Structure 1
């Protein structure tokens, strides 16, 4: 699997797999905020909208 940097630990990340089998990291914040990229350049090292994933209990 490709490392996507900070996104790999963020609750806003959704992994999208193309019909050809490539995997992309989509930021769901981009669906709500038109000024935020849905597919930011990888790897993301810093992000002001980073939110850690909730670990299952």
Structure 2
């Protein structure tokens, strides 16, 4: 896995696999707040919506 930065431990990060074997990291906050990118450019080093709470590793 590539370094996703803050997203690796953020409760709003979702992994979305495709049928072709690729996995994308999606930000759940983007569904309700336009300040957040649906698929953020990685690694994320600063995010106003970051909330620790999970580990995608």
Global fold match (TM > 0.5) = yes
CA distance in structure 1 between the aligned counterparts of 2:4 and 2:48, rounded to whole angstroms: 16
- Aligned-pair RMSD on alpha carbons? 1.7
CA distance in structure 2 between the aligned counterparts of 1:25 and 1:54, rounded to whole angstroms: 14
Larger RCO (CA within 8 A; separation ≥ 6): 2
TM-score of the superposed pair, with normalisation by structure 2: 0.82
Gapped regions of structure 1 (runs ≥ 5) = none
How big is the shift at 1:54?
A: 5.6
Matched, 1:18 2:9: no
Gapped regions of structure 2 (runs ≥ 5) = none
- Flag as ranges the 4+ runs of structure 1 deviating above 2 A: none
Return the index of the structure with the highest Cα Rg: 1
3-state secondary structure, aligned to 2:30: helix
TM-score of the superposed pair, with normalisation by structure 1: 0.82
